[in-house]
Amino acid sequence: MSAPAPRPPSVDSLLGPGGALEEALPAYEHRPEQLQMARAVERAFSEGSYLLAEAGTGTGKTLAYLVPALLSGRKVVVSTATKTLQDQVFFKDLPLLSEKLGLRFEAAYLKGRGNYLCLHRYESFEKDPQFVSREEAKQWPLLKKWVTQTETGDRAELDLPESFATWSRLSTTSETCLGSRCSLYETCFVTRMRKRAEVADLLVVNHHLFFADLALRSSGKRTEGVLPFYDAVVFDEAHALEDAASGHFGCSVSNYRLEELSRDAVAALQAKDERHATLSALAQRVRSHADALFLQAPRALGMSSQESTVALRPETMGKLSGALEQVREGLAALASFAGSEREPELAAIHRRAEEMAEQLSFLEKSESADHVYWAEARGKGLFLRASPIDVAKELRDRLYGALDTVVFTSATLAADSRFDFFAKRMGMYDDEGQPVTRVRTLAVPSPFDFPRQSALYLPTHLPDPSAPGFIEAAAEEIIQLCEVTGGRAFVLFTSLRNMVRAYELTATRLPYQALLQGERPKQQLLDAFRQTPSVLFAAHSFWEGVDVPGDALSLVIIDRLPFASPGDPLVAARIRQIQARGEEPFDQYQLPQAALALRQGFGRLIRTQADRGIVAMLDRRIVTKSYGRVFLSSLPPAKRMEDTTELSRWFNGPVRPVPPVRSIR
């Protein structure tokens, strides 16, 4: 008799007790939470349903979705919010499944076009290299040598400064790419990347690339995206999807974008070409009118500083109507000339000029009820923007109709133990509250022992955050708390103003290295923080996606409950939209959004079973207001304290034995 054929691998045989992963990794211990999630993901793939899976930190959710995705036999996209997780999935977790478990698959790692060298633009730049500074010019010999050696064209292979301005002249975007009409299309690094992706079983991308590609495909004007067609999507760090999607389903016209169009138009033809003078004159006309528009715009729109945001309204945009019309006329003339020629470079100029003219008209009218319009000043850039107020309809129209399986997972999806908020924001229910597809939910807890590992400090003696003197009182509290832990603290703020003021009040008084967000690149700040006991003052990007396991981080201080500013044009528009439906925006939007954001901030503290530390919330409203219950019920069950003496005794006292550390992936 012949031996029975071996059973194909399954979720249980790989991740279950006594399974292949436990056998392959001596330090690994089976986690019921991981297997529970993996089975739910497997079911979603097999029956074609949508899954919302909240998995607490340490459950091993990455392998819990990778294993069933690879076993499904379908072409799956895994999309992450951060490059850190994207790297982990591709360079750590997938090799583990291939080398230790023997799974056979092809995977591809994809980034946006701007990360790759454009051979066409490189050839053009090489003929007359121009640099913004001598420091950038010094990088040119190294870069030229790299071009002859690289197989990927990925900028990450180079040790270039983050602010290396020349890279924008050497790379392309979906707007500036010539596509299949480019003479170097077949040798293009993006083309090669896409060909690898076409034969891959699993694609690892980030949210911004995913939605940029989705918006490009569904625009009706261009269909060639970076991603090939796929069968299913897993969104990791899915709590970040709404912001990522809204940024790509709208439009934006900036002084930078118009400058780039003018520069590319001048470079589209060689100087000896008899048409060059006409094209250059038309490009210069666009540039001069754009300069005039963006010189007038800040005052006309009521922008108070170089770092400000204001809503755009028809009456305010009316003050710029003359300048806007001149820019549109210049774009129309440029488009008309370029459209009459045959070169791919001029065809791209024609398309770009027409699109920008159309978008400027849309922005000037500012009348679409389902869009929010605003202007944003950032450094030397001024951006006129429009985005859909609610991405729910966009996702239903662009994504859900084409896929029967989508998995959303994160450590923070449920607010007040309910998935309703996230599901509605993501468009899984229609306007009448009916599900648009089969949706299942799952919440698996973290295996961490939060009552033993963490304390939640909730002082009530500080002033209300809106009261005079709050930040001064908070600064004194920060100093006292850092004495308890010997520094090793993140101090997280909801506003840059409070962050800078607290730093000014405490930095010289702290006997530890004080670091301030913005003074150095993010990675350099984290490296310095890990190397010596420090106190890092940060906002925004440090609330999530930052991983500092071990003793380097023992204290997370949060200045106030992270309610989104109602002065933000997008937030204000969402509030008005909810009010128009006859609903309460605080309960339906502002409170659950803030509760999820607070959970993200708390999540910076405990990253492994060996970690131990304190989260301090300096906003008394979490205790004194009735809605504080929603925040507290959403947080892990840490030991709650109100007194720094008790807190110090807990932190510096005897520690209960730590259970065996399990492999965390």
Q: Are 57 and 448 in contact (CB under 8 A)?
A: yes
Strands (DSSP E) contained in 238-303 are 251-254
Residue 581's pLDDT is 85
Where is 644: in which H helix or E strand? helix 644-652
Q: Residues 516-526: what's their mean pLDDT?
A: 87
Got the DSSP string for 443-474?
A: EE--SS-HHHHEEEE---SSPPTTSTTHHHHH
For tokens 């420091």, the residue is 135
Residue 220's pLDDT is 56
From the candidate CATH numbers 1.10.287, 3.30.420, 1.20.120, 1.10.490, the one assigned to the domain spanning 251-388: 1.20.120
Distance CA 295, CA 222 (A): 33
Which of 15-19, 220-224, 352-356 has the least mean pLDDT?
Answer: 220-224
Residue 221 has pLDDT above 70, yes or no: no
Q: Are 290 and 262 in contact (CB under 8 A)?
A: yes
Distance CA 88, CA 132 (A): 35
Residue 296's pLDDT is 94
Q: What are 159's two structure tokens?
A: 């040790």
CA 591, 596, 599, 601 dihedral sign is: negative
Distance CA 302, CA 315 (A): 12
**450-652, which class in CATH?**
alpha beta
Helix, strand, coil percentages for the chain (3-state, nearest 5): 50, 15, 35
Phi, psi values for residue 303, rounded to 5°: -85, 130
Give the per-residue SS3 of 335-399. Answer: HHHHHCCCCHHHHHHHHHHHHHHHHHHHHHHCCCCCEEEEEEEECCEEEEEEEECCCHHHHHHHC
In this predicted model, what pLDDT tens digit does every residue of 614-624 receive, in sequence order?
999 999 999 99
Which of 138-147, 393-402, 543-552 has the least mean pLDDT?
Answer: 543-552
Give the confidence band of 6 by pLDDT, cuts at 50, 70, 90: low
Looking at the chain, which residues constitute the CATH 1.20.120 domain(s)?
251-388
Residue 2's pLDDT is 52
Percent of the chain with pLDDT over 90: 67
Residue 219's pLDDT is 63
Looking at the chain, which residues constitute the CATH 3.40.50.300 domain(s)?
450-652
Q: Which of 111, 48, 49, 116 is nearest to 80 (CA)?
A: 111
Residue 660 has pLDDT above 70, yes or no: no
SS3 (DSSP) at 205: strand
Q: Residues 489-502: what's their mean pLDDT?
A: 94
Amino acid (one-letter) located at 371: H
Residue 208 has pLDDT above 90, yes or no: yes
For tokens 């934006």, the residue is 252
Buried/exposed code over 277-286 (b: 16+ C-beta within 10 A; e: otherwise): eebbebbebb
Q: What is the CA radius of gyration of the chain?
A: 27
Q: Residues 98-111: what's their mean pLDDT?
A: 92
Residue 435 has pLDDT above 90, yes or no: no
Q: What are 604's two structure tokens?
A: 């910076």
SS3 (DSSP) at 600: helix
Report the alpha-carbon angle 577-585-239, nearest 5: 90
Q: What is the pTM of this model?
A: 0.89
Residue 441 has pLDDT above 70, yes or no: yes
Instruction: Tell me the C-alpha to C-alpha distance, in Å, between residue 624 and each of 162, 473, 486.
Output: 44, 18, 30
Q: What are 575's two structure tokens?
A: 């509030």
Residue 223's pLDDT is 47
Percent of the chain with pLDDT over 70: 95
Q: Residues 188-215: what's their mean pLDDT?
A: 94
In this predicted model, what pLDDT tens digit does every residue of 295-336 receive, in sequence order?
999 999 988 766 688 999 999 999 999 999 999 999 999 999
Q: Residues 124-136: what's their mean pLDDT?
A: 89
Residue 355's pLDDT is 95
Residue 84's pLDDT is 83
Higher pLDDT among residues 545 and 140, named by residue: 140
Counting every residue written for the chain, the total comes to 665
Distance CA 112, CA 173 (A): 8
Residue 411 has pLDDT above 50, yes or no: yes
Q: What are 168's two structure tokens?
A: 């924008």
Residue 171's pLDDT is 93
Give the per-residue SS3 of 325-339. Answer: HHHHHHHHHHHHHHH
Give the confidence band of 664 by pLDDT, cuts at 50, 70, 90: very low
Give the confidence band of 559 by pLDDT, cuts at 50, 70, 90: very high
Residue 655's pLDDT is 59
Residue 271's pLDDT is 79
Residue 156 has pLDDT above 70, yes or no: yes
In this predicted model, what pLDDT tens digit does every residue of 459-472 receive, in sequence order?
999 999 999 999 99
Distance CA 207, CA 28 (A): 30
Residue 98's pLDDT is 93
Higher pLDDT among residues 181 and 74, named by residue: 74
Q: Residues 63-83: what's their mean pLDDT?
A: 95
In this predicted model, what pLDDT tens digit does every residue of 21-64 receive, in sequence order?
888 887 777 789 999 999 999 999 999 999 999 998 888 999 99
Q: In what order do the strands lie in the sheet with 613-617?
A: 513-516, 534-539, 489-493, 555-558, 613-617, 454-457, 639-641
Distance CA 663, CA 665 (A): 7
Residue 516's pLDDT is 95
Residue 587 DSSP one-character state: I
Residue 1's pLDDT is 46
Residue 308's pLDDT is 80
From first CA to last CA, the distance across the chain in angstroms is 43
Q: Which of 660, 615, 609 is nearest to 58 (CA)?
A: 609
Got the DSSP string for 141-193?
A: HHHHHHHHH-SS-BGGGS---TT-TTHHHHB--TTT--GGGSTTTTT-HHHHH
Where is 537: in which H helix or E strand? strand 534-539
- Residue 344: Cβ-neighbour burial (10 angstroms; 0-12, 13-18, 19+): middle
Mean pLDDT score of the chain, rounded to an integer? 90
Report the alpha-carbon angle 657-663-664, nearest 5: 100
Report the alpha-carbon angle 574-577-579, nearest 5: 110
